[in-house]
């Protein structure tokens, strides 16, 4: 070990002090020669002869010096340095080749690194707690008749009927926790509640997560500062006014001041003491990507959320399923056994806490993987991210094919050079090493540019997934493993395809290579691998271009949709009055007051509000029972009722939705005892076919409800798109908010000719004049709101279009490279043809035909694969089929056009060959 | 003058170590000393001395420093290190062992062989 160290040190000294070493060697040898010459003279030699004799005895100075350098381990270093310089010269000499290779490497590495990092973060990253793999998320699967009637949480329909819920009632949670013997202690949380917080006098919108007292302890999280929330904080409802805050909020609101702990902030008007700051890695139990701002004990939920509907306080409510549960696996207890035991406990808890109706069925408990929290993103983005992964995977393949192609073409062009070097005595290993050095240099340049692109993509990509008005998205850590993988793949490709031809070249007879023997004969067999590579590239490009076509046309189709209202000149913002301070009906009165005040703001041409903004991916559906008509049998099925929106009186005129029959709301309607409604044409078609709906009444309650509330239809509006662009206008009725009992948080809509930035300050001033602690949230225009619903389509269209163009460019380069190479190899064959009377047009045609053939094969394969893979993206398309002729034919035509263009230059060069010159060349 | 012999392969480094172990020397001095102690019987290719010196220094068996020669010239002097001393004694032992074995083998006669078999 120490011997190695000594050598390394000596080597390092030699490398770094190279100049000194050389002079010392020189001096040492000179001393030897002169000392020897002096001795020879003493022995009686002629002074003039002595030096010559000394030199003769010494031997070749240069070769001994070389041996001395070699003794210091400098030889391989010098050779490497030489290789590097030679490689750099070669790369500089063909800038076209170098830049194409570097760019394709860089783009492939960059694109793959950023997309894979994103995918890793979205789909596979785990919560920042110790042993996240032990965490289990408790969920409930119920059929259509399950005992879960009302829930506040996520509800996913299961194909084949039924639904998956991620929440429980609080009494069931408490009983499960007591009965549980099979898992670690069950802990509970309620994900992201929007709230208004006042910190140091400034109001801001924050996200809350409410947690059970044992959550920190069970998850194994220790706060970075202060203390965690403890079981003693989570006692009687309404007690435990303490909070831990995220590192993000600590930085944003407190500037990372250590005295933040102990400060009192208000959350929805309730004073709360900050007791701790979470470590950066801890993002709560909900998701891995971003953390809620404030964590409070579940016992505080009555103060921040109040009641939901008319069902009583949340913590004692036995009907509403809302609280989310997790637990750690117990070592040694099989999952199956835990699930069976907890299922029994769940049924017992349901029977003990709820009144179960006769035809209700027991829901089934599942223990899902909880290592990613509730994992909304994982489930929402799984399909699009996998498609993107496939696309960048294709790009990587394409880049590898391109590199391989370029390397093949180049090394066959360099056969002669290698032949010469072999003939001059270079070893085969030495030549291979030279080629390897060059490949590695290319890979290193491409890799570093790719690394840069990957870094940029890492910051740019999450922004693409963000709505334009949102503050901060998720943080995507740069994934070194992904980078090394992609860099490794491209490296290996480059090295393999650089070395393989060099290997066969060095095996060839030296004479053959120098004479360039094979030139006159046809190159059919030798060019085979290059040709396959080009056909492969064309096929991949066709696939990517066709995919880009599908997504672009989807985006165009979506943009061409008539939404049914005037989307320009509308500014939207949300107001969320806390229900503790504004319990119903105070919230309705507050909104009426704000609406009135905003109407007077200069620049406001119209003002209204709604609980469900249009085209914001939100919807509210309820039963629709027409008075005097038979009641619908299945009250709970989806699509059996009508969509509803609770709005201000001017909603239709502000939005620019035409009224086709009857009248709009008036100022007097708000005070009228009879509740009024305007329905759209789709609703008339469904519930009043060939009838006049005006004056008819309907109810959203079913017949069993006592004191059913009836609404009278006073007008019919034109159809509009409702929750998203893709969905046809559903049956929809607009109800007046001032006639409803409660409304809570709403979206205000302002029609103005002013820029949002110009008008929002005066709007904010008016709102704060009414309630200082009420922040304007999510200020955006209606256009931005609509764009947000097309986010995924837009991201897809832009990314696939970018990759499609990249693919086209790579294919173009590939075809050009292989054809130019073929033409230069066949110069004398072409010369002979011309000399024998072939016309130049024929020669041109010959070359173009070859390019055309390669392309045709590639295009046919590409289209076939596109047709097959298209089925996988069917659900992401709008207004067209995966077999969309425009996209497929378009891609094919584009590819053939590009191929002929790329083949044109070599074809022209071939037709300009001078027969005499070509033959003399031999 | 006795008959000169060419140096056996692989022995140059051992000889250098031995020469230097008797006191620090410059390159030419190493040459002179080896010739002197061998009674001018060994022929050393002068130039090949230096790669061997450099290799030994690289391996840490000797160390070098610039100094003044007997006639007032700047010269590079080599001296044995502790590691070099160990190496020299190890190689000396190995050489003696090897020489002993070879000597025994070469001295062997058919009479000895018959004696050994009986």
* Whether pLDDT at A639 is above 70: no
Note every long-range contact of A692-697, with CB atoms under 8 Å and residues 24 or more positions apart, other chains counting. A692/A661, A694/A661, A694/A662, A696/A626, A696/A627, A697/A626, A697/A627
Mutation target to probe the A interface, by most A beta carbons within 10 A, among B1, B13, B16, B28 is B28
Segment A595-621, tens digit of pLDDT: 999 999 999 999 999 999 999 888 887
Chain B residues in contact with A64 by the CB 8 A cut-off are 47-48, 50-51
Q: Which range, A137-151, A536-550, A629-643, has the best average confidence (pLDDT)?
A: A536-550
Chain A residues in contact with B46 by the CB 8 A cut-off are 32, 36, 57-59
Least trusted range by pLDDT, from A377-381, B34-38, B51-55:
A377-381
Cβ within 8 Å, pair A31-B46: no
Residue A193 located in a structural domain:
yes
Chain B residues in contact with A36 by the CB 8 A cut-off are 28, 46
- In this complex, is the C-beta atom of B76 within 8 Å of any C-beta atom belonging to chain A? yes
User: How many whole angstroms separate alpha carbon A231 and alpha carbon A187?
Assistant: 11
Does A802 lie in the same domain as A734? no
User: pTM of the entire structure?
Assistant: 0.71
Region A407-414: what's the mean pLDDT? Answer: 72
- In this complex, is the C-beta atom of A71 within 8 Å of any C-beta atom belonging to chain B? yes
pLDDT band (50, 70, 90) for residue B117: low
* Whether pLDDT at A769 is above 70: yes
Which pLDDT score is estimated for A308?
56
Cβ within 8 Å, pair A29-B59: no
Does A177 lie in the same domain as A161? yes
Q: CA torsion, points A605, A610, A612, A617, in degrees to nearest 10? A: 20
Region B84-110: what's the mean pLDDT? Answer: 90
Give the A window 318-347 contacts with B, CB below 8 Å: none
Does A395 lie in the same domain as A306? no
User: How many whole angstroms separate alpha carbon A666 and alpha carbon A650?
Assistant: 8
Segment A417-473, tens digit of pLDDT: 777 888 887 777 888 888 888 888 888 888 888 888 888 887 777 777 666 666 555
Cβ within 8 Å, pair A3-B60: yes
Q: Which of B45, B51, B59 sits opposite A68 (nearest CB)?
A: B51
Residue of B nearest to A35 (CA): B28
Segment A811-831, tens digit of pLDDT: 887 778 778 777 777 777 888
Check if the interface score ipTM surpasses 0.95: no
- In this complex, is the C-beta atom of A53 within 8 Å of any C-beta atom belonging to chain B? no
User: How many whole angstroms separate alpha carbon B108 and alpha carbon A853?
Assistant: 83
Separation in Å, CA A193 to CA A151, A186, A306, A488: 15, 21, 12, 45
Does A704 lie in the same domain as A692? yes
Task: Confirm if B48 and B12 have CB atoms less than 8 A apart.
Answer: yes
Cβ within 8 Å, pair A7-B55: no
Does A358 lie in the same domain as A259? yes
pLDDT band (50, 70, 90) for residue A505: low
* Whether pLDDT at A397 is above 90: no
Does A769 lie in the same domain as A655? yes
In SS3 terms, A537-554 reads as HHHHHHHHHHHHHHHHHH
Does A64 lie in the same domain as A203? no
Chain B residues in contact with A7 by the CB 8 A cut-off are 58-60
- In this complex, is the C-beta atom of A28 within 8 Å of any C-beta atom belonging to chain B? yes
* Whether pLDDT at A389 is above 60: yes
Of the candidates A312, A340, A371, which is a domain's last residue? A371
Q: Which of B46, B54, B71 sits opposite A71 (nearest CB)?
A: B54
Cβ within 8 Å, pair B60-A11: no
pLDDT band (50, 70, 90) for residue A651: very high
CB-based contacts of A874: which residues, under 8 Å, 6+ apart?
A881, A882
Q: Which of A32, A60, A61 sits opposite B27 (nearest CB)?
A: A32
- In this complex, is the C-beta atom of B55 within 8 Å of any C-beta atom belonging to chain A? yes
- In this complex, is the C-beta atom of B59 within 8 Å of any C-beta atom belonging to chain A? yes
pLDDT band (50, 70, 90) for residue A275: very high
- DSSP assigned state of A233: G
Mutation target to probe the B interface, by most B beta carbons within 10 A, among A35, A54, A61, A69 is A35
Residue A262 located in a structural domain:
yes
Region A833-858: what's the mean pLDDT? Answer: 87
DSSP one-letter string for A574-643 = EE---TTTS-TTHHHHHHHHHHHHHHTSTTEEEEEEESS-TTSS---EE--EETTSPPPS-SSSTTSSEE
Structurally, how many domains does chain A consist of? Answer: 5
Which pLDDT score is estimated for A720?
94
Residues in chain A: 922
> Which CATH number applies to B5-117?
1.10.10.10
* Whether pLDDT at A922 is above 60: no
Of the candidates A73, A89, A106, which is a domain's last residue? A73
To the nearest whole number, what is the mean pLDDT of chain B?
Answer: 85
Mutation target to probe the A interface, by most A beta carbons within 10 A, among B16, B51, B70, B77 is B51
Task: Confirm if A548 and A797 have CB atoms less than 8 A apart.
Answer: yes
Does A280 lie in the same domain as A169? yes
Q: Which of B60, B75, B76 sits opposite A6 (nearest CB)?
A: B60
Which pLDDT score is estimated for B8?
72
Residue A118 located in a structural domain:
yes
Does A121 lie in the same domain as A147? no
Residue A348 located in a structural domain:
yes
Does A795 lie in the same domain as A892? yes
Least trusted range by pLDDT, from A475-479, A793-797, B84-88:
A475-479
Least trusted range by pLDDT, from A49-58, A349-358, A504-513, A817-826:
A504-513
User: How many whole angstroms separate alpha carbon A434 and alpha carbon A430?
Assistant: 6
Q: Which of A28, A38, A70 sits opposite B76 (nearest CB)?
A: A28
User: How many whole angstroms separate alpha carbon A656 and alpha carbon A375?
Assistant: 39
Cβ within 8 Å, pair A34-B46: no
* Whether pLDDT at A522 is above 50: no
Domain hosting residue A617, numbered range:
578-773
Residue A566 located in a structural domain:
no
A200: number of Cβ within 10 Å = 9
Chain A residues in contact with B50 by the CB 8 A cut-off are 25, 28-29, 32, 64, 67-68
Segment A189-234, tens digit of pLDDT: 998 787 888 888 777 888 899 999 999 999 999 999 999 999 999 9
- In this complex, is the C-beta atom of A32 within 8 Å of any C-beta atom belonging to chain B? yes
Backbone region of residue A460 per phi and psi (left: phi > 0; alpha: psi in -120 to 50; beta: other values): alpha
Does A638 lie in the same domain as A745? yes
Cβ within 8 Å, pair A58-B57: no
Q: Measured in Å, how far apart are chain B's first and last C-alpha atoms?
A: 47
Burial class (CB in 10 A: 0-12, 13-18, 19+), A752: buried
Q: What percent of chain A has pLDDT over 70?
A: 93
User: How many whole angstroms separate alpha carbon A375 and alpha carbon B17?
Assistant: 72
Residue of B nearest to A68 (CA): B51
pLDDT band (50, 70, 90) for residue A524: very low
Does A167 lie in the same domain as A315? yes
Segment A301-313, tens digit of pLDDT: 887 765 555 556 7
Chain B residues in contact with A68 by the CB 8 A cut-off are 50-51, 54
Residue A778 located in a structural domain:
no
Which pLDDT score is estimated for A307?
57
* Whether pLDDT at A482 is above 50: yes
Cβ within 8 Å, pair B50-A68: yes
Cβ within 8 Å, pair A61-B47: yes
Q: How far is A26 from chain B (nearest CA, A)?
A: 11
* Whether pLDDT at B87 is above 50: yes
């Amino acid at each position: 070990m120490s011997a190695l160290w000594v050598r390394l040190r000596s080597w390092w000294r030699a490398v770094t002090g190279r100049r000194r070493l050389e002079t010392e060697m020189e001096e040492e040898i000179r001393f030897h020669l002169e000392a020897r010459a002096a001795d020879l003279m003493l022995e009686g030699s002629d002074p003039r002869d002595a030096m010559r004799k000394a030199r003769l005895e010494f031997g070749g100075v240069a070769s001994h010096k070389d041996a001395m350098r070699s003794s210091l381990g400098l030889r391989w270093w010098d050779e490497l340095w030489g290789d590097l310089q030679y490689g750099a010269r070669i790369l500089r000499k063909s800038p076209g080749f170098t830049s194409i290779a570097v760019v394709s490497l860089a783009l492939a590495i960059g694109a793959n690194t950023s997309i894979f990092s994103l995918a890793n973060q979205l789909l596979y990253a785990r919560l920042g707690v110790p042993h996240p793999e032990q965490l289990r998320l408790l969920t409930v699967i119920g059929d259509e008749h399950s005992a879960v009637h009302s829930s506040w949480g996520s509800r996913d329909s299961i194909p084949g009927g039924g639904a998956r819920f991620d929440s429980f009632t609080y009494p069931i949670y408490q009983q499960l926790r007591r009965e549980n013997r099979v898992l670690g202690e069950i802990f509970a949380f309620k994900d992201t509640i929007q709230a208004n917080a006042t910190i140091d006098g400034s109001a801001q919108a924050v996200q809350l997560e409410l947690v059970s007292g044992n959550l920190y302890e069970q998850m194994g999280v220790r706060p970075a500062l202060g203390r965690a929330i403890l079981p003693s904080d989570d006692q009687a409802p309404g007690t435990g006014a303490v909070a831990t805050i995220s590192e993000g909020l600590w930085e944003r609101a407190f500037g990372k001041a250590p005295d933040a702990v102990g400060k009192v902030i208000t959350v929805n008007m309730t004073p709360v003491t900050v007791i701790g700051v979470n470590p950066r890695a801890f993002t709560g139990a909900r998701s891995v990507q971003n953390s809620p701002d404030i964590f409070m004990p579940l016992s505080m939920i009555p103060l921040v959320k109040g009641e939901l509907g008319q069902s009583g306080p949340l913590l004692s409510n036995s009907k509403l399923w809302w609280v989310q549960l997790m637990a750690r696996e117990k070592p040694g207890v099989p999952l199956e056994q835990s699930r069976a035991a907890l299922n029994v406990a769940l049924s017992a808890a349901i029977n003990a806490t709820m009144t179960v109706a006769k035809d209700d069925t027991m829901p089934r408990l599942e223990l899902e993987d909880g290592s990613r929290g509730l994992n909304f993103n994982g489930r929402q983005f799984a399909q699009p991210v996998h498609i993107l992964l496939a696309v960048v995977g294709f790009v990587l393949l394409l880049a590898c094919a391109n590199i391989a192609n370029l390397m093949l073409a180049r090394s066959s062009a360099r056969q002669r050079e290698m032949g010469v070097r072999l003939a001059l005595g270079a070893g085969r290993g030495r030549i291979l090493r030279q080629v390897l050095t060059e490949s590695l240099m290319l890979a290193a340049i491409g890799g570093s540019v790719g690394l840069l692109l990957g870094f940029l993509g890492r910051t740019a990509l999450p922004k693409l997934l963000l709505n334009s008005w949102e503050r901060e998205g998720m943080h995507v850590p740069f994934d070194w493993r992904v980078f090394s993988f992609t860099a490794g793949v491209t490296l290996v490709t480059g090295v393999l395809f650089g070395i393989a031809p060099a290997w066969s070249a060095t095996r060839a007879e030296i004479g053959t290579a120098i004479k360039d023997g094979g030139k006159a004969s046809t190159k059919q067999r030798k060019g085979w691998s290059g040709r396959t590579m080009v056909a492969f590239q064309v096929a991949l490009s066709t696939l990517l271009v066709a995919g880009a076509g599908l997504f672009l046309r989807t985006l165009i189709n979506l943009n061409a949709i008539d939404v049914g209202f005037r989307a320009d000149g509308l500014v939207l913002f949300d107001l969320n009055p806390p229900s503790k301070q504004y319990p119903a009906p105070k919230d309705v009165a507050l909104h009426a007051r704000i609406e009135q005040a905003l109407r007077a703001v200069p620049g406001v041409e119209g003002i209204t509000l709604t609980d469900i903004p249009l085209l914001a991916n939100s919807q509210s559906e309820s039963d629709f029972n027409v008075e005097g008509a038979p009641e619908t049998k299945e009250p709970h099925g989806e699509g059996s009722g009508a969509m509803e929106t609770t709005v201000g009186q001017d909603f239709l005129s502000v939005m620019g939705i035409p009224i086709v029959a009857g009248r709009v709301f008036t100022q007097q309607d708000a005070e009228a005892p009879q509740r009024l409604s305007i329905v759209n044409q789709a609703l008339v078609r469904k519930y009043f076919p060939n009838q006049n709906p005006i004056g008819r009444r309907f109810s959203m309650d079913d017949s069993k409800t006592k004191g059913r509330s009836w609404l009278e239809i006073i007008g019919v509006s034109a159809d509009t798109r409702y929750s998203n662009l893709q969905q046809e206008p559903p049956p929809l009725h607009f109800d007046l908010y001032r006639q409803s009992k409660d409304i809570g948080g709403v979206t205000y809509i302002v029609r103005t000719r002013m820029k949002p930035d110009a008008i929002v300050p005066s709007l904010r001033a008016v709102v704060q004049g009414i309630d200082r602690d009420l922040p304007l949230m999510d200020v955006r225009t209606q256009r931005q709101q609509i764009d947000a619903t097309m986010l995924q389509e837009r991201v897809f269209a832009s990314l696939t279009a970018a990759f499609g163009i990249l693919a086209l460019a790579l294919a173009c380069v590939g075809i050009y490279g292989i054809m130019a190479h073929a033409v230069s190899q066949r110069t004398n064959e072409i010369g002979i043809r011309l000399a024998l009377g072939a016309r130049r047009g024929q020669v041109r045609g010959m070359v173009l035909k070859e390019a055309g053939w390669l392309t045709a094969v590639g295009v046919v394969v590409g289209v076939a694969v596109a047709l097959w893979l298209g089925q996988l993206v069917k659900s992401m398309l709008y207004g067209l089929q995966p077999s969309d002729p425009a996209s497929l034919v378009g891609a094919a035509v584009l590819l053939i056009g590009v191929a002929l263009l790329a083949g044109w230059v070599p074809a022209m060069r071939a037709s300009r060959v001078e027969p005499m010159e070509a033959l003399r060349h031999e | 003058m006795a008959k000169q012999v060419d140096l056996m392969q692989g022995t140059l480094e051992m000889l250098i170590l031995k020469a230097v172990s008797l006191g620090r020397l410059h390159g030419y001095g190493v040459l002179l000393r080896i010739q002197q102690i061998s009674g001018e019987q060994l022929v050393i290719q002068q130039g090949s001395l230096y790669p061997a010196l450099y290799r030994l220094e690289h391996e840490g068996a000797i160390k070098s420093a610039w100094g003044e020669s007997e006639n007032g010239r700047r010269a590079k002097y080599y001296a044995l290190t502790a590691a070099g001393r160990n190496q020299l004694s190890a190689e000396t032992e190995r050489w003696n062992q090897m020489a002993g074995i070879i000597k025994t083998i070469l001295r062997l006669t058919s009479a000895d062989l018959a004696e050994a078999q009986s």
